[in-house]
């Protein structure tokens, strides 16, 4: 036997170059990024331009079906639904995204810390986590908004706090199982401390879990924002959000179905795009999976 790798030698490429090479051949990643990019682009464009002013009421043309002048129709105040979707994207995406960032940013370090430290402190931390987990997001949002007043920012904080224990548990479980692996022992033999081991060995190996959970939490965040808007605790009128549009449409479903279908589709397509993006990223970032696919 010659001591050489069985695969033919490939020229060394830069990391970002290999990433894009793999990304291009990954169909779900490309579809996901296309959808997500268009939603984000739509939200960005809305800062500069919308077909109509979303705050302008035009009772004369209320509840119109989709037409050439109003592509997605109008609502019961005569506002243009396409414009509302564009502006609503800003709120929905911002709330869900920041809430996921809060969840990962606070939850993952807590979970890793609890797992690597163990003992009474780790246990206490996880039980505190359970306490937060026991409150539904909506309930904690009600508490927070009751204290600080309603609004998009408080909705973000409420949903973000709800995300913390989700990510903390995930991170703790993954860390506990990874800590027993021999490559972690090897790193300890190399004199590395727990913070460095978590950064170099634990986090990269739980990245795929985090990406998947992150896209789920993002999708849930959009729905939770919608729920908060419904009870009047999220985005405040007159500013639109997808969830609020959906809820306003429910009494008019029978004679103006487009009012529910359009924001519903917007949520479905965005969530789908994110899930595809998450799946694709997970495959590309995992060297074993990317090899198996070739």
Nearer to other proteins, 203 or 222 (CB): 203
> Smallest gap, in angstroms, from Cβ of residue 103 to other proteins?
23
**Residue 3 in the binding site for other proteins (CB under 8 A):** yes
Q: Is 185 in the site for other proteins (CB under 8 A)?
A: yes
Task: Say which residues have a Cβ less than 8 Å from residue 21's Cβ, sequence separation at least 6.
Answer: 13
Window of 29-37, 54-62, 143-151, 188-196 that interacts with other proteins by CB under 8 A: 188-196
Determine the straight-line distance between the first and last CA of the chain, rounded to whole angstroms. Answer: 25
Q: Using the rule CB under 8 A, is 205 a contact of other proteins? A: yes
- Among 23, 105, 200, 264, indicate the residue that binds other proteins (CB under 8 A): 200
As a whole number of angstroms, the distance between CA 130 and CA 110 comes to 13
Please, which residue, 4 or 254, has the CB nearer to other proteins?
4
Query: Binding other proteins by CB under 8 A: which of 201, 244, 258, 282?
Result: 201
Per CB under 8 A, the segment of 4-12, 136-144, 223-231, 247-255 that binds other proteins is 4-12
Out of 41, 181, 250, 251, which residue is the one contacting other proteins (CB under 8 A)? 181
CB of 224 to other proteins, least distance (A): 32
Q: Which of 191, 254, 255, 294 binds other proteins (CB under 8 A)?
A: 191
Task: Tokens for 263, please give them.
Answer: 């924001």
Measured from the CB atom, the residue of 26 and 64 that comes closer to other proteins is 26
Residue 21 CB, shortest distance to other proteins, in Å, is: 15
Q: Is 7 in the site for other proteins (CB under 8 A)?
A: yes
Sorted by sequence, the CB contacts under 8 Å of residue 116 that are 6+ apart come out as 175, 179, 194, 197, 198
286 contributes a contact to other proteins by CB under 8 A: yes
Taking CA atoms, 66 is separated from 58, 102, 207, 228, in Å, by 16, 38, 43, 28
Smaller CB separation from other proteins, 14 or 254: 14
x/- site string to other proteins, residues 234 to 273, per CB under 8 A? ----------------------------------------
Quick note: the x/- pattern for other proteins over 11-50, rule CB under 8 A, is -x--------------------------------------
Enumerate binding residues for other proteins (CB under 8 A). Answer: 1, 3-7, 9-10, 12, 181-183, 185-192, 200-201, 204-205, 286-288, 291
């Amino acid at each position: 036997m010659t001591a050489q790798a069985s695969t033919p030698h490939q020229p060394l490429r830069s990391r970002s170059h290999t990433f894009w090479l793999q990304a291009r051949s990954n169909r779900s990643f490309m579809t996901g990024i296309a959808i997500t990019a268009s939603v984000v682009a739509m939200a960005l464009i809305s800062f500069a331009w919308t077909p109509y002013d979303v705050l302008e009421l035009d009772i004369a043309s209320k509840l119109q079906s989709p037409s050439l002048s109003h592509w997605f129709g109008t609502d019961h105040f005569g506002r243009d639904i396409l414009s509302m979707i564009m502006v609503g994207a800003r709120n929905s995406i911002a709330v869900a995204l920041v809430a996921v960032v809060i969840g990962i940013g606070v939850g993952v370090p807590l979970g890793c810390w609890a797992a690597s430290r163990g003992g009474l402190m780790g246990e206490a931390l996880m039980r505190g986590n359970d306490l937060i987990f026991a409150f539904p997001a909506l309930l904690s949002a009600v508490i927070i908004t009751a204290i600080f007043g309603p609004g998009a920012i408080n909705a973000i904080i409420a949903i973000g706090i709800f995300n913390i224990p989700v990510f903390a548990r995930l991170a703790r479980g993954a860390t506990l199982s990874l800590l027993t692996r021999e490559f972690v022992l090897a790193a300890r033999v190399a004199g590395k401390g727990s913070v460095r081991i978590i950064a170099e060995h634990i986090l990269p190996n739980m990245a795929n879990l985090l990406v998947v959970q992150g896209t789920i939490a993002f999708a849930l965040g959009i729905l939770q924002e919608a729920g908060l808007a419904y009870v009047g605790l999220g985005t405040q009128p007159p500013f639109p959000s997808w969830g609020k549009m959906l809820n306003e449409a429910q009494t008019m479903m029978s004679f103006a179905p487009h009012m529910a279908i359009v924001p519903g589709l917007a949520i479905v397509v965005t969530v789908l795009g994110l899930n595809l993006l998450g799946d694709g990223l997970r495959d590309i970032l995992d060297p074993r999976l990317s090899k198996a696919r070739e």
